[in-house]
Structure 1
Amino acid sequence: MSPLNADLHCHSVVSDGTLTPEELAARAAANGVELWALTDHDEIGGQHRAAAAAHAKGMRYLTGTEISVTFAGETVHIVGLGFDPDDAEMQRGLQQTRGGRGGRAQEISAGLAQAGIPNAYEGALKYVGNPDLISRTHFARYLVEAGICKDTNEVFRRFLTEGKPGFVPHRWANLKDAVQWITAAGGVAVIAHPARYRFTANEEYALFTEFKAHGGRGVEVVTGSHTTAEANKYAGTAREFGLAASRGSDFHSPDESHTDLGKLPPLPADLVPVWDLLADRIR
Structure 2
Amino acid sequence: MTITNANQASVYDLHSHTKASDGILTPAQVVQRAVDNLVDVLAITDHDTVKGLNEAHQYIQDKNLSIRLINGVEISTLWKNTEIHIVGLNIDIDDSQLDVFLHHQEQCRIERALQISQKLKKVGIENAYENARNYAQGDIVSRAHFARFLVDNGYAKDIKRAFKKYLGKSGYAYVAPKWSTIDEAINIIHQAKGQAVLAHPSRYDFTATKMQTLIHYFKEQGGDAMEVSQSRQTLEALKLLAHFANKFDLLASQGSDFHDLNNYLDLGKTQPLPTNVKPIWYNWST
Q: Give TM-score, length-normalised by structure 1.
A: 0.93
Report whether the alignment pairs 1:159 with 2:158: no
Q: What does 1:175-254 align with in structure 2 at a 5 Å threshold?
A: 175-254=182-261
Alignment match, 1:17: 23
Report whether the alignment pairs 1:264 with 2:259: no
For 1:226 and 1:219, how far apart are their aligned partners in 2? 15
Report whether the alignment pairs 1:105 with 2:113: yes
For 1:144 and 1:112, how far apart are their aligned partners in 2? 14
For 2:127 and 2:74, how far apart are their aligned partners in 1? 29
**Paired positions, count:** 278
For 2:235 and 2:60, how far apart are their aligned partners in 1? 29
Amino acid at match of 2:269: K
For 1:200 and 1:113, how far apart are their aligned partners in 2? 36
Alignment match, 1:59: 67
For 1:270 and 1:218, how far apart are their aligned partners in 2? 15
**Of residues 170, 174, 178 in structure 2, which corresponds to 1:171?**
178
For 2:211 and 2:231, how far apart are their aligned partners in 1? 20
The answer to whether the 8 A contact 1:37-1:61 is kept is: yes
Query: Following TM superposition, by how much is the alpha carbon of 1:125 offset from its aligned partner in structure 2, in angstroms?
Result: 1.4
Amino acid at match of 1:109: S
**Of residues 6, 29, 47 in structure 1, which corresponds to 2:12?**
6
**Of residues 13, 25, 29 in structure 1, which corresponds to 2:35?**
29
Q: Secondary structure at the match of 1:275?
A: coil
Alpha-carbon displacement from aligned partner over 1:228-278 (angstroms, at most 9, x marks no partner): 222221111101011111111111123x3331001121111121111124x
**Of residues 47, 69, 80 in structure 2, which corresponds to 1:41?**
47
Q: Secondary structure at the match of 1:99?
A: helix
Q: Secondary structure at the match of 2:47?
A: coil
Alpha-carbon displacement from aligned partner over 1:113-142 (angstroms, at most 9, x marks no partner): 2223222222211101123x1110000000
For 2:259 and 2:147, how far apart are their aligned partners in 1? 13
Amino acid at match of 2:69: Y
The answer to whether the 8 A contact 1:9-1:250 is kept is: yes
For 2:224 and 2:233, how far apart are their aligned partners in 1? 20
The answer to whether the 8 A contact 1:51-1:63 is kept is: no
Amino acid at match of 1:83: I
Alignment match, 2:89: 81
Q: Identity rate of aligned residues, in percent?
A: 38
Query: Following TM superposition, by how much is the alpha carbon of 1:213 offset from its aligned partner in structure 2, in angstroms?
Result: 2.1
Compute the RMSD of aligned alpha carbons: 1.6
The answer to whether the 8 A contact 1:219-1:243 is kept is: yes
The answer to whether the 8 A contact 1:74-1:198 is kept is: no
**Of residues 76, 80, 84 in structure 2, which corresponds to 1:72?**
80
For 1:160 and 1:48, how far apart are their aligned partners in 2? 31
The answer to whether the 8 A contact 2:212-2:244 is kept is: no
Alignment match, 1:276: 282
For 1:227 and 1:156, how far apart are their aligned partners in 2? 24
Q: 1:17 to 1:241 in 2, by over 3 A?
A: same
Q: Secondary structure at the match of 1:264?
A: coil
24-33 vs 182-191, which moves further: 182-191
Amino acid at match of 1:4: S
Query: Following TM superposition, by how much is the alpha carbon of 1:201 offset from its aligned partner in structure 2, in angstroms?
Result: 4.6
